[in-house]
Every structure is written in structure tokens, then in C-alpha cells.
Chains A and B, each alone.
Chain A
Amino acid sequence: MVEKGIGARVLRKEDQRFITGRGRYTDDINQHGQAHAVFLRSPHAHARIRGIDTGAAEAMPGVLAVLTGQDVKADGLGNLVCGWLVKSKDGSPMHMGPHPLLAQEKARYVGDRVAVIVAETLEQAHDAAEAVVVDYEELGPVVALERAHDAGSLVHDEIASNLAYDWELGDKAAVDAAFAKAAHVTRIDLVNNRLVPNAIEPRAAIGHYDPGMDHYTLHVTSQNPHVHRLVMSAFVGVAPEHKLRVVAPDVGGGFGSKIFIYGEECVVLWASRKVRGRPVKWTADRSEAFLSDAHGRDHVSHAELALDQDGGFLAMRVNTKANLGAYMSTFSSCIPTYLYGTLLAGQYKTPAIYCDVQAYYTNTAPVDAYRGAGRPEASFLIETLVDQAASEIGMDPAELRRKNFVPKTAFPYQTPVALTYDTGDYEATLDEALRLVDWKGFAARKAESERRGRLRGIGLSCYIEACGLAPSQVVGSLGAGVGLWESAKVRFSHTGKVQALTGTHSHGQGHETTFAQLVSEKLGIPYEDVEVIHGDTEKTPVGMGTYGSRSLAVGGEALAKACDKLVEKGRKIAAHLLEASEADIEFKDGNFTVAGTDRSKSMGEVVFTAYVPHNYPAGLEPGMEESAFFDPPNFTYPAGTYVCELEVDPTTGTTEILRFVAVDDFGNVINPMIVEGQVHGGLAQGIGQALLEGAVYDESGQLLTGSYMDYTMPRADDVPSFEVVTASGTASHANSLGVKGCGEAGAIGAPAAVINAITNAIGRRVEMPATPEKVWRALQNTQTPQAAE
């Protein structure tokens, strides 16, 4: 057993540079001869571009180039694409409107890129942007999702309506039959609010074309540099893949928003070529980030749950309208479909489920994956619906859930919405959460609050998620345009030190630490001897990147496999050195030993022999370096129970979270400290969604919440200290490590726990974000506001 291996609470390798101000984020990088880019963005939600006069701007001091959509077209660059083809009920493919790097005929949302100005200094570029004259003809905007179908205006003239697709999943006839014999039906209408991911590091990119080498380098805030390289070469055509290096250095948070391939990063690379190889740098300011980062969520749903007379779930029926924004972003189509509809069984053995989803274009920023991506929408819907059912039939919400859980003996469990859950023990996480929060003692605590004039509420959320989308063959059959495997390379040096290269990318998750623990354990070498390398297409093997809580379950397993190959090679070398049969060599704690003897060779000796093969097995290649690709046989399914206990002040409608208990089953855990940190962050984002955050457009399509003065981010005094338990996991069968993934759970499970607690406190449900105003208004409309005086 190595000291800092699997399961150890190891401090992070990456911290030294961040706590001393020596991190290296994209905007920290400055290149020789660098020019600066500023994007001119549409002030209108929907407008025809009749012409752009760049003459005055081009004549301004320091200006190197002013480029528009016509230049993009003239250079034959392709459009941005959505990489997942979803089909409608009738079998027809989704309608993907063209998404140019710079707007051509029309601008389709406030913030749409209309031109780029490249100048010697950032100030000169800003000044010149003011001098670009765009002749806009304003068109009627499509803003409200509920009215997108008959808005009287088309976001994409090429498509007959604003409907991108009308998708369904499940056995409609079976669901209808179950509803017909239901003893009780619970119905709910709910909104899943639109959110802005808000990684604190704004997006940035530096494009550099080297005319001497005919080679391109892009530094970019990316969660998946190889996916950037692929899309930019195969679809946009800005550079051939073998001549494009994409580097994602330190990245200051992503939460999904840095998965996508955006126009800006393609443009700076192209612009560098246009200005004869000067590096071109662009960094978004926060206002641009609000306008142009892909947003998340934005669903309007109607859901129904059919129950028998004992509270058993018979069937569920869901209709959802999803907002795609003005263009289909990189993975946008699969979020409200394959990452949403497929999760609607939750933790329950509901035998029949049907869901249909209409996805619409609107004149708003594109909507795509944001932490959880589809799964928070599913979990929020199920868990508020179940809570309402419990309230309607007069059953304890914990007991109604328990009654309907998939029992731990039923795994692997096939749901009626396509997925096969690997492992789980939902009663165990529920019981632990109820015990920790003292569920039974709530009535007494509520009475105590009441004496102080406060309304106390408690809310449960039993979430499930699916991490590490796979296998590639299955996701391919569902429309994915890429494979969803991951890669690794593990390389010993002469001196026994290891470089572990991964195709995933760390932007806060601590892979440099967790992956080093894993490799250290697998190879029996000190943790300090392992260096993890990621984020550079010219260093690491081709990888798919980090999203969907996949890095450990898919990328970690690829590393484990590469380590296994090294051990197998080492066994051959050790057998030779020890003059023993390979079958008799045991590997443990970094030593190859002849079974039943004390004759052994250390990993270090074996590695040295592999590089200095003077006495070496015949026919064996020298060197100790192995690669592996891993395509998982299934998703992994983390699950857990969250409980929120809060107080509402009826005089102001303000909510104070008193306790938040999270009990998660992530399977096996490599670094509990990092896992708990991931949960904390997810919880704050989930609580933010429930209480504070919401992107709001006015009727004309102007973003009203375009800064931190207007969009309410959770701050330190908005959230409590969390009580997080990640013990007693059920190991996944989808990988040899038994791990499941933990990055998104908090954001998936938290919103329903908070909203159910508010409903429990005030007697009616309010839509997210449950601001003091909404809560106060709801209380005024409540028939018997017990404690309102």
C-alpha cells in the first residue's frame, strides 16, 4: 500500500502555483508581437445586416484589420456545428440553422458577433470598434420560450418554424394505460430557470499562425482541447488538424461553458493569419461573458405522476419545452433529450415513463450544457413532483420515496427510459441523510421557529445522475457525432519517475493530484514521483476532455489500463532478471517477487533495465511507456439524498438555509477531500439556482441580467457550511476502479431539496429562483398565513 494512494486525503499538487499567484491562465500569457482583438456585437436581438462600413475604423491608429462575416464567407470558412444529431418523433433529423463565425445576413441575439477589430493595443481596438458602422434593419424578436412556436418571426429563415426538433422517449401507450387505472394523479407545471455558468475566469484565446512553419497554435480556455482542434479543423476549416496545436493552460473554472467551440476562438486563429502571423489575443470582459457564453437550463415542463391506492408509482408523463437560444451550440441538442429524458426514472421503479420534448430557437444566447446538463432538470422535475404527490396523498415524503425506490437487490436495473443503472443502495443514502438531519425531530424544531415568528421547512431530494457517457457505439446510435472514450499514456523515465498524460482536462477538479494518486497506487511508486500532464494537443494523446463527470470514470480508467500494461511488461523483465517463470512473479507495492520467495526486483530496477537493456528478455521492446484507450461498457450512476432545512421570514420573504445535508454514493473514492470539495461547489450552484440566479431577457431580447450587479451569484453569506458524507459507496461495474464521478451531483440534487423545503415552510411552491419577493407574494396569497403576523 503506497502512502498517498487510492482513498488518501492528499493535499493538492496544483495548489502551490495558485496560492502564490503563479498560475498561468490564458490571459496571463503574452506573446511577442501580439495584437489585440475586440468583437463588435449586435445590440439587437434580431436584425438584418444590410451593410457594414469598416472604412473609418480601418483608418484609425493602430488598426491592423477589421473583419466581418463577408470576409469569413470569402475565405470559405465553415460554420460552427452541433455534434449530436437528434431525430424528431417522425424520424426526421433536427433542423440546424447555420452558425457562422461572424454574423452574415442576420444578427440573432444581443451579443451575436458582427465584426472583429484587430489592433496594436486593446485600447485602439476598442476605440476602432466604436467607428464601425453597421446598417441594421430590426426584425421582430422571438424571446419567450412559451411563444416561440407562434412568435410571427423566424430565427432562421432557412427553417420552416422555430422548432428545432420534437423528440420523444418511452412507451406512450403503456403510460396512457397506466394513467387510466390510476388511483391518484399528481400534476405539476414548472420552470427550470435559465442560468449563466459564470466561471470566474472569462473566456479568452490567443491565436498564432506561424507562416514559416505553416503552423497554428491556439491558447484557449477549454475543457477539451482535442475537441476544439477537431471541430476547428474538420468543420470550421480554419487550420488542418495536424498543423493545429491547441493548448488549454490553467483554466479558471468551466462548468460546461468551456466545452463548446465558440466563434471567438476560431476567429482569433484566422485573424492571426490575416495579419500575417501576428499573435491575436482576445479576452472576454464579464459583460461579454454574460451575453455570449452558452447559458444553461431554460425549460418549461408539465409533468404527471400516476399512483396506485398505496402510493406505488404506476407511470410518469412529461412534456418539456426547451430553449436552444439562437443557434445550436456544440452539444446543445443532447442536453434536453438524451441527458434529460433518459434520467426521468430517478431512483424509482416507475414501470412506464413517456416524455416528449420540443426544442425551440429564440433570439437569445445559445443554451447548452451547464453543470449537470439535463440531469438537474430531470432531477428537479421528479423530486418536486414526488414531493407534491406525497403532500396530496398525505404520506411522509421520505416514506413515499422509500416505497418506490429501485431496491438494492434489483441491480443492474433496466429503466423504462433506456438506461441500465449499474449499482446503488438508495435506502442507505436516504437513511443516513434522515439520521444526520434528525428528520423525526423536525416538528419540534418547526415549533421552536414558529415561536420566533419564522416558518421552518425541510425538503428532500433523492437524485440520480449518469456520468461518463458511453459506450461509443450506443451514443453513436443515438446521434452522437464523436466517440466518448478516453486516452492515457504513462511513461517512466530512466530514473523511475513517471509522466502520466491524460486526454481529460483539469480546471479545478484536481486531476494532477487524483490521477497521481491512482498511478502511484497502480505502479507502487511514490506519489511525488508522478507528474500529470494535460491540456496540450502536442503533448497528450487524443482525448475527449472533461465534462459530464467523466474524467475519473473514463480517463482514470484509461490511466489504470496503461499502468496495468506497464506492470505486465515489468513482470516479463523481472522474470528474466530473476530467472523465474513469468507466471510465478507477483507484483505488489512496487516489487516484483518470485512467489513464495524473498527474491524480488523493484519497479525502479525493472524500469532501469527496460531503458538499459543489456540483460533483457529476447524479443521484448525496450522502454517503459504504455498507452491505453478506454471506452466504458456503460455510464456510471452516482446517487444520493440531500436534505435542506431552512427558515423563511414571513415579513420579508427571505430564506435562510440552516442546514444542508448531502449523502452521496460515488462508488469508490480516490481523494475524499477533493470529492467533498466538488460537492460543496455543486451545492452552492444548486442553491444559487434555487434561490438567487436567473438570466432574464426583456421583451425586446435585451439581457437584463448582464453583470454581477444584476445577476445574483451565490456569495459566502448566501450559503451555509455543508454537511457532506461520501462514505459507503456501491462500486460501479463500468470500470475496474469502481468509481462513479462526483463533479455535478451537488448542482443536480440541490435545487429540489431547497424548493421542497420552501414549499414545506410556506405551503405552496414558488418557481426558481425563489427570491424574497416571490416567497413574500406567495405568502400573501396563502389562505392561512399562520405566522404572518
Chain B
Amino acid sequence: MKVSMSVNGKQVSGEAEPRTLLVEFLRYELGLTGTHVGCDTSQCGACVVHVNGSSVKSCTMLAVQAEGAEVTTIEGMATGDELHPLQAAFREHHGLQCGFCTPGMIMSAADLLKTNPAPSEHEVREWLEGNICRCTGYHNIVKAILAAADTMRGAARAAE
């Protein structure tokens, strides 16, 4: 069946079976392979994207459920060549090693900072409970998210 949605600001449509997951649609139908699959029990969070502005594990949602939705993936986070502050902070603070969990981490953290622009370290750690990283020990991921929060608050103040 045909499914249509907006992905990273562009209207797209493609074929999906009723059992096709949103992550499969993104990866295999649209070729957006930045969204990863690390488990089959909705635990690892490598597949987190935004659907209508909220973070969602795209392995937990059928493609057909996203009909008409606005979806943002890691590929849609930068504005042209300008990285999203979270992307920049992950690089600046060595918040990634193998890079496999990174898209999900960034997408998940972006949702956190939307609702809580000044989280404590504890709040960041609690929020990341649904994202597993095997490389970094989370140390630099937490540091990167706190630094991005700072940057984004600074930018918001400057804009006022």
C-alpha cells in the first residue's frame, strides 16, 4: 500500500506492507540509513526519530501509522552545512565512538531539550534510559548534551 508523509520537510510517498515498520520504511524505501536498528524489543533507541515533533522509536511504529505525519530524522537535523547544536556538541565533546547509537542519542536528546532546556546531569541520564550506547560509557554523551543545552539557551537569549 502507498504511504505518504513529510520527512525532513519534504513530501514523500512510498510502498509499505501493513507490517512494515516506520524504521524499515525510512531505511529501505526512502534510503535514509542514518536511522539505525540495534534491537528487536524497542530497547536500544538507535532508531529514534521525531514524529510530529516528539521523539519516537521508529521500530515501535508502523509506517502506515505515520501517514500524513511530519517526520524528522538525523539527516534533517542540520540546516544546510550548519550542524544542529547537539550534533556540534557530540563532536566537540567526543560523544560518539562507533557512531551507531549516535543518531538515536541526538534525536532523543533534542526532544529532551525542547521540553527541558536546562536539564541537570541526573535528568539527562534518566532521559537517556531508552538509548543504549556500548562504546562511550555515556560520560561524554551526557557532557555533550549539557553543553548543547548551554549553547541553545545562549542562542535563545540572543534571539530575544
Interface on A for B, CB 8 Å cutoff? 11-12, 14-25, 27-28, 30, 123, 198-202, 250-253, 255, 285-287, 507-510, 673-674, 676-678, 680-685, 707-709, 713-717, 719, 721-722, 746
The verdict on B33 contacting chain A, using a C-beta distance below 8 Å, is: yes
The verdict on B37 contacting chain A, using a C-beta distance below 8 Å, is: yes
Asked if A18 and B136 make an inter-chain contact with CB atoms under 8 angstroms apart, the answer reads no
Chain B residues whose C-beta falls within 8 Å of the C-beta of A202 in the assembled complex: 37-38
In the complex with contacts A200-B100, A250-B99, A510-B97, A20-B74 CB distance below 8 A: yes
| A255–B90 CA distance with the chains assembled, in angstroms | 22
Chain A residues whose C-beta falls within 8 Å of the C-beta of B98 in the assembled complex: 199-201, 250-253, 507-508
* Distance to closest chain A CB from B23 (angstroms): 11
Chain A residues whose C-beta falls within 8 Å of the C-beta of B129 in the assembled complex: 715-717
Residue on B nearest A686 in the bound complex, by CB: B137
User: Which of B27, B87, B132, B137 contacts A19 (CB under 8 A)?
Assistant: B87
Asked if B87 and A253 make an inter-chain contact with CB atoms under 8 angstroms apart, the answer reads no
| A409–B4 CA distance with the chains assembled, in angstroms | 72
* Distance to closest chain A CB from B19 (angstroms): 8
Q: Is the interface of A mostly helix, strand, loop or mixed?
A: loop
User: Which of B28, B38, B96, B124 contacts A18 (CB under 8 A)?
Assistant: B96
Residue on A nearest B103 in the bound complex, by CB: A21
Asked if B97 and A719 make an inter-chain contact with CB atoms under 8 angstroms apart, the answer reads no
Residue on B nearest A682 in the bound complex, by CB: B137
Chain B residues whose C-beta falls within 8 Å of the C-beta of A200 in the assembled complex: 36, 38, 44, 46, 98, 100-101, 132-135
List 11 other contacts, CB 8 Å, given A28-B27, A198-B134, A252-B98: A11-B91, A18-B103, A19-B91, A19-B96, A20-B74, A20-B77, A24-B33, A252-B38, A681-B97, A713-B134, A719-B137
Q: Which 6 A-B pairs have the closest CB atoms?
A: A21-B34, A18-B99, A252-B100, A684-B137, A508-B98, A708-B43
- For chain B, residues 32 to 51, give those with C-beta under 8 angstroms from any C-beta of chain A: 32-41, 43-44, 46
The verdict on B63 contacting chain A, using a C-beta distance below 8 Å, is: no
In the complex with contacts A25-B100, A199-B98, A251-B98, A684-B91 CB distance below 8 A: no
Asked if B75 and A201 make an inter-chain contact with CB atoms under 8 angstroms apart, the answer reads no
| A680–B136 CA distance with the chains assembled, in angstroms | 6
Residue on A nearest B102 in the bound complex, by CB: A18
| A300–B120 CA distance with the chains assembled, in angstroms | 42
Asked if A20 and B78 make an inter-chain contact with CB atoms under 8 angstroms apart, the answer reads yes
The verdict on B141 contacting chain A, using a C-beta distance below 8 Å, is: yes
Asked if A746 and B83 make an inter-chain contact with CB atoms under 8 angstroms apart, the answer reads no
The verdict on B67 contacting chain A, using a C-beta distance below 8 Å, is: no
Residue on B nearest A250 in the bound complex, by CB: B99
* Distance to closest chain B CB from A735 (angstroms): 24
Q: Can you list 13 contacts pairing A with B, beta carbon distance less than 8 Å? A: A15-B96, A19-B90, A19-B96, A19-B99, A200-B133, A250-B98, A252-B98, A252-B99, A286-B39, A681-B97, A685-B134, A714-B138, A717-B128
User: Which of A17, A123, A253 contacts B134 (CB under 8 A)?
Assistant: A253
Chain B residues whose C-beta falls within 8 Å of the C-beta of A23 in the assembled complex: 34, 99-100
Asked if A201 and B121 make an inter-chain contact with CB atoms under 8 angstroms apart, the answer reads no
Asked if B121 and A11 make an inter-chain contact with CB atoms under 8 angstroms apart, the answer reads no
Type the 1/0 row for B79-108, where 1 means its CB is closer than 8 Å to any CB of A: 000010001001110101111111100100
In the complex with contacts A507-B98, A685-B134, A722-B83 CB distance below 8 A: no
Asked if A707 and B134 make an inter-chain contact with CB atoms under 8 angstroms apart, the answer reads no
In the complex with contacts A252-B100, A708-B39, A21-B128 CB distance below 8 A: no
Residue on A nearest B97 in the bound complex, by CB: A508
* Distance to closest chain B CB from A383 (angstroms): 20
In the complex with contacts A200-B46, A200-B101, A201-B36, A746-B128 CB distance below 8 A: no
Asked if A20 and B75 make an inter-chain contact with CB atoms under 8 angstroms apart, the answer reads yes
Chain A residues whose C-beta falls within 8 Å of the C-beta of B131 in the assembled complex: 715-716
